[in-house]
Amino acid sequence: MEKSSGSVNRILVVEDEPAICDLFRRVLSGEGFEVDTAVNGKVAQDMIGEKQYDLFLMDIRLPLVNGIELYRWLQNKHPQLASHVIFTTGSVIDQEDTTFIEQSGRPLLPKPFTPDELKAIVRETMKEVGK
């Protein structure tokens, strides 16, 4: 895995909506983060194998490999990174997804969100993981 450059923190956004990806990139780049994007969990798995990420923003509803499947894969393959996940969703989530998110202990950023809400949840999560 390639180490993130210098003291810049690298975030992987796993999101299939281009407008949301653009918003994440614009807001987070403005906060000094290096932002990569993946359109689904399968692409994200490949990227995680190539680079080191400090934080992950994962949409729950994704094609091929969804956010929950990607999180479980991360727990299995890179357990030290599982605490670096923030889930996102614009969908109404069912009881199974709600239970999973609660059990994971990971934060959820519901869409739509404001740039300030995004910045706050990223700052809080980065603090939790010691970044």
How confident is the model over 37-76, as pLDDT tens digits? Answer: 999 999 999 999 999 999 999 999 999 999 999 999 999 9
User: Do the Cβ atoms of 122 and 28 come closer than 8 Å?
Assistant: yes
* pLDDT for the residue 113: 94
* Domain range enclosing 104: 10-128
User: Do the Cβ atoms of 96 and 105 come closer than 8 Å?
Assistant: no
Please report how the helices 115-128 and 18-30 are oriented relative to each other, as an axis angle in degrees rounded to 10. 60
Give the domain CATH number at 118. 3.40.50.2300
- On the question of pLDDT at 1 being above 80, the answer is no
- On the question of pLDDT at 130 being above 50, the answer is yes
* pLDDT for the residue 4: 45
Residue 3 is assigned to a structural domain of this protein: no
Write down how long the chain is.
131
- Structurally, the chain folds into a number of domains equal to 1
* pLDDT for the residue 7: 67
Residue 69 is assigned to a structural domain of this protein: yes
DSSP letters along 46-79, please? HHHHHB--SEEEEESS-SSS-HHHHHHHHHHH-G
